[in-house]
């Protein structure tokens, strides 16, 4: 097992919270990949509770990096977090009180959002992350595929297709979505395709499958999930979807698609206003 993850997952597991072993492994895999690529920068977590996911993030920081933790109340397990040896910044703030001007750190390499999950809060927090995220940074959204919080999906896609942004989803799991900027999509999607199954195995999560059933300028994320009973292929429906298990550059068409979507939405809004 990866030795850094062996220590961080044990410490993280001792902290109260909902982060599953699968999500621990997926998050740590991407953080480790950033380290291998020499990608540096501070990290931010919006919505910390006790700090279970923060421990995973902290364990991949370097001495010159800081992990900035934001929560509306001081529930932090400071003892556990201190054991990571990471430089930490504790901030007791409601995210609605934050704006772009609240952040001096605009070269963040990893931002995890795990707050109350309301529609308005998610929309606001993605905007904050978009402001602070570095060109090669990763944004991680919690409960993205949890339909008890379906508003997270709605807020995410509203932001992606109506805001002036270059954020794009490159991977989803049963719990989270991982986004990067358009120019970094090939880097991160390529890492998922080429090494994520092996990285998960190195972290004790075997029998993992990758699924990708579409690849358009608007969407081309991979789904990382456990294999289903009787499933043997590492790539879901490889015979049918083999042409999607490659990485293509969609940077220019993606901008066009987003502009077209915004135009449609503006027309729809004008139509609704006219008929009120």
Contact yes or no for 64/34 (Cβ under 8 A): no
The number of angstroms, rounded, from the C-alpha of 190 to the middle of its chain's C-alpha atoms is 16
| Structure confidence at residue 256 (pLDDT) | 53
Return d(Cα 137, Cα 130) in angstroms, integer.
Answer: 10
- Taking alpha carbons only, the member of 254, 251, 201 closest to residue 224 is 201
| Structure confidence at residue 250 (pLDDT) | 67
Contact yes or no for 84/55 (Cβ under 8 A): yes
Considering the domain boundaries, does residue 274 fall inside one? no
Number of domains in the chain: 1
| Structure confidence at residue 261 (pLDDT) | 58
Phi first, then psi, for residue 164 (nearest 5°) are -80, 85
Considering the domain boundaries, does residue 178 fall inside one? yes
Considering the domain boundaries, does residue 103 fall inside one? yes
pLDDT tens, per residue, the chain with 276 residues:
899 999 999 999 999 999 999 999 999 999 999 999 999 999 999 999 999 999 999 999 999 999 999 999 999 999 999 999 999 999 999 999 999 888 775 799 999 999 999 999 999 999 999 999 999 999 999 999 999 999 999 999 999 999 999 999 999 999 999 999 999 999 999 999 999 999 999 999 999 999 999 999 899 999 999 999 999 999 999 999 999 999 887 665 455 555 555 555 555 555 444 444
Range of the domain at 221: 3-263
| Cα separation values, 79 from 46, 59, 62, Å | 19, 14, 19
- Taking alpha carbons only, the member of 28, 13, 69, 38 closest to residue 178 is 28
pTM summary value: 0.91
Considering the domain boundaries, does residue 270 fall inside one? no
Considering the domain boundaries, does residue 258 fall inside one? yes
Contact yes or no for 70/48 (Cβ under 8 A): yes
Considering the domain boundaries, does residue 104 fall inside one? yes
Considering the domain boundaries, does residue 271 fall inside one? no
| Structure confidence at residue 265 (pLDDT) | 54
Domain of 203, CATH number, reads: 3.40.50.150
3-class state of residue 18 by DSSP: coil
Considering the domain boundaries, does residue 138 fall inside one? yes
140: its two tokens: 């991680």
Contact yes or no for 67/48 (Cβ under 8 A): no
187: its two tokens: 């880097």
């Amino acid at each position: 097992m990866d030795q850094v993850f062996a220590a961080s997952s044990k410490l993280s597991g001792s902290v109260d919270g909902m982060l599953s072993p699968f999500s621990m492994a997926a998050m740590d895999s991407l953080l480790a990949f950033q380290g291998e690529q020499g990608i540096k920068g501070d990290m931010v977590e919006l919505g910390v509770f006790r700090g279970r996911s923060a421990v995973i993030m902290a364990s991949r920081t370097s001495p010159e990096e800081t992990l900035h933790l934001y929560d509306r109340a001081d529930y932090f397990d400071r003892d556990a977090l201190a054991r990571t040896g990471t430089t930490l910044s504790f901030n007791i703030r409601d995210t609605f009180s934050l704006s772009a001007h609240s952040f001096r750190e605009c070269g963040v390499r990893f931002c995890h959002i795990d707050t109350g999950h309301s529609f308005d809060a998610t929309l606001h927090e993605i905007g904050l992350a978009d402001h602070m995220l570095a060109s090669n940074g990763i944004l991680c959204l919690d409960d993205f595929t949890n339909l008890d919080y379906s508003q997270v999906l709605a807020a995410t896609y509203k932001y992606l297709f109506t805001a002036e942004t270059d954020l794009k989803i490159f991977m989803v799991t049963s719990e989270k979505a991982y986004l990067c900027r358009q120019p970094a999509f090939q880097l991160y999607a390529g890492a998922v395709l080429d090494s994520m199954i092996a990285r998960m195995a190195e972290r004790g999560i075997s029998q993992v499958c990758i699924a990708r059933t579409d690849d358009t300028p608007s969407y081309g994320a991979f789904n990382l999930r456990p294999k289903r009973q009787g499933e043997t292929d590492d790539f879901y429906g490889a015979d049918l979807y083999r042409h999607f298990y490659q990485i293509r550059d969609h940077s220019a068409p993606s901008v066009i698609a987003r502009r077209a979507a915004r135009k449609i939405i503006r027309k729809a809004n004008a139509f609704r206003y006219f008929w009120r």
